[in-house]
Amino acid sequence: MGWINKYIFLIIFLILITSLFSGCASLNSKKFLERETFRKEEKTGAKGWWYAKFRMDWPKDAEPLWHMDPLLAHRVIAPVLSRYSEEISLWRFHRRAAPDASGHQFSFIFYADPQVADRVFASIRSNRILKDMKSAGIILEDVYDDTGRISKPNVEDTSDRNWSLPIQKSWPYFIMGVSQTWLDLIEQGVVQRGKIDRSASCRDILAFYKGVNEDIGATWQKEGQHAFLHHLNALFGYEPLVIYEKRLTTF
């Protein structure tokens, strides 16, 4: 009977050892899969800021073609926003014109993952209006960020570093609302003036958006103080703010 007991003990021991190793293997496999899933989610879920910049021709001693900005916003960027609205967390426009290397430049800035940024840039590059304006020499170049790495991962990374951190983090939401308002004014201005013919030349398209830009400028001058500045001040409880004023003075 002693050898039978030894045999049974050996079988039980082998079963325990086998279970232990298979359990470790299963646990290790599970941990490996969890790590790989986390890495995959981390890679695909990471977001950052991306820039699409458009530099316009600006002849010396001439005014910038400010109406090119609403044209680009409405005819090039608006379709992209409509298509990828659920995948772009934050976005805004930036307009500038200064006598430097960048000159007159319009920018579309958005917060999304690199895969979405690739698709957005591809859609912009394929836009017919953009191609026509480049061929006509009105747009000198369009530049896009490299999506190979995320250089601006934080929400506050494109805000002014001179601001406090709370403002840096909240400002992107404010300026997105402002940009949306401006884009909506452009769309309403286009509707009011009537649709422009699809076969219109670049010159005709520019003239059309020049009128739209002037309409928006007039609206801003007439209604901007109350509609925007007053209500913004009211939102902050009519607290006074510091205004830095530059003016010529004689003594």
Task: State yes or no: pLDDT of 2 exceeds 70.
Answer: no
Q: Name beta bridge partners: 48.
A: 112
Confidence of residue 20 (pLDDT cuts 50, 70, 90): very low
Question: Mean of the per-residue pLDDT values for the chain?
Answer: 87
How many CB atoms are located within 10 Å of the residue 206 CB? 17
Q: How many whole angstroms separate alpha carbon 172 and alpha carbon 104?
A: 23
**150 with 46: CB under 8 angstroms?**
yes
- Residue 99 near residue 187 (C-beta atoms within 8 A): no
* β partners of residue 141: 55
Query: How does strand 48-56 pair with strand 90-97?
Result: unpaired
pLDDT exceeds 80 at position 101: yes
Over the stretch 195-251, which tens digit does the pLDDT of each residue have? 788 789 999 999 999 999 999 999 999 999 999 999 999 999 999 999 888 887 777
Closest CA to 89 of 158, 5, 14, 2: 158
- For 43, the token pair is 């890679």
* Residue 114 parent element (H or E): helix 114-125
Choice among 39-53, 82-96, 107-121, 162-176 with the minimum mean pLDDT: 39-53
DSSP code, position 101: S
Q: What are the pLDDT digits (tens) for 51-98?
A: 999 999 999 999 999 999 999 999 999 999 999 999 999 999 999 999
How confident is the model over 13-29, as a mean pLDDT? 42
Over residues 186-203, mean pLDDT:
91
Residues 6+ apart with CB under 8 A from 129: 71, 75, 76, 205
For 229, the 3-state DSSP assignment is: helix
Instruction: Give the phi and the psi of residue 218 in degrees, each rounded to 5.
Output: -65, -40
Burial status of residue 89 (CB atoms within 10 A of its CB: 0-12, 13-18, 19 or more)? middle
Residues 144-151 have a mean pLDDT of 98
Among 26-30, 114-118, 239-243, the range of highest mean pLDDT: 114-118
Topology at the third CATH level for domain 46-235 = Alpha-Beta Plaits (3.30.70)
The pLDDT assigned to 251 comes to 72
Q: What is the pLDDT, as a whole number, of residue 45?
A: 65
Which pLDDT belongs to residue 232? Answer: 97
User: What's the rounded mean pLDDT across residues 147-158?
Assistant: 98
How many CB atoms neighbour CB 23 within 10 A? 10
- What is the average per-residue pLDDT within 147-153? 97
Phi, psi (5° rounding) for residue 51? -115, 135
Distance between CA atoms of 111 and 47, rounded to whole angstroms?
7
Greater pLDDT, 244 or 135: 135
The proportion of the chain whose per-residue pLDDT surpasses 90, expressed as a percent, equals 76
